[in-house]
Amino acid sequence: MSALALHEAYLSYGNHRVLGPVNLDVRAGEHLILLGKSGCGKSTLLNRLYTENRSGCALIPQDLGLVETLSVYHNVYMGRLQRYSALQNMLNLISPARGRVAEVSPLLEQLGLAEKCFSSVAELSGGQQQRVAVARALYQAAPVLLADEPVSALDGPEADRVMALLGQYFSTAVISLHDVDRALRYGQRIVAIQNGELVLDEPTERLTVAALNEFY
């Protein structure tokens, strides 16, 4: 069963056509990795999938989409803003609800951010901010994850820990990466983009690092 699908879709960034026609079916329970050089259209494809499936997807954008003047807690809490009334959200902004803090704290603990819960996001390093965006996606608990380079600012062991968490929390995911070795370890299917087209679409067991390096 398809969780996400695009059929004969043309994707543009501004007035510039980036990809198309695109035919892509993402099956429920599948982890699909997008590969390709910077500017090839990975972000455009992820944004299109999100735009057409917003209610069922958690998004980790490349720019992270954090509010730097707010605390780590409040940025993570934003993953569930739509579940509560405007009044509840305003009260939680002023005085964080104990129940919501109790929900967020274990996620921050798993991501090594427990002591930063009420720190301003502006005070954090780039890697810490990236983990806050990951925590927000985990907290949202949507059926599908769309993630644009979610571990680009993390070192090897930390990146692997985050990728493992994403795999644990989301049974269905579309994730763009640059590291082909990591793509083969964490993906079940790989789609490569080149010259405005999806030029490769194969299960990971049929692929090697050498075969994928040609796309970089």
Per-residue pLDDT tens for 32-53?
A: 999 999 999 999 999 999 999 9
194's CB contacts (< 8 A; 6+ apart) are 36, 37, 40, 215
| pLDDT tens-digit series, residues 96-126 | 999 999 999 999 999 999 999 999 999 999 9
Q: 78 pLDDT band (50/70/90 cuts)?
A: very high
Rounded distance between C-alpha atoms, residue 167 and residue 195, angstroms: 30
Whether 212 shows a pLDDT value over 90: the answer reads yes
pLDDT > 90? residue 215: no
Average pLDDT score over residue span 136-144: 97
CA distance 170 to 163: 11
Domain locations in the chain as residue ranges: 2-213
pTM (two decimals): 0.95
Q: How far apart are CA 84 and CA 215, in angstroms?
A: 44
Lowest mean pLDDT of 8-17, 25-34, 206-215, name the range. Answer: 8-17
Chain Cα centroid distance, residue 156: 18
The residue ranges of DSSP E strands in the chain, in sequence order, are: 2-13, 16-27, 31-35, 57-60, 144-148, 172-176, 189-194, 197-203
Please name which of 91, 88, 86, 94 lies closest in space to residue 70, comparing C-alpha atoms.
94
The pLDDT of residue 84? 94
**pLDDT of amino acid 1:** 81
What tokens does 46 get? 């992820």
Contact (CB, 8 A) for 19 and 45 = yes
**Pairing state between β 31-35 and 189-194:** parallel
For 2-213, CATH number?
3.40.50.300
The Cα-based distances of 23 to 26, 87, 196 in angstroms read 10, 42, 13
Q: What is the pLDDT of residues 155-172, one digit of tens each?
A: 999 999 999 999 999 999
Q: Over the stretch 11-25, which tens digit does the pLDDT of each residue have?
A: 988 788 889 899 999
Please say whether the beta carbons of 196 and 19 come within 8 A.
Answer: yes
Q: Tell whether the model's pLDDT for residue 54 goes beyond 90.
A: yes
Segments of 28-132 assigned E as strands: 31-35, 57-60
How is residue 55 annotated by DSSP? G
| Other residues' Cβ atoms within 10 Å of the Cβ of residue 110 | 18
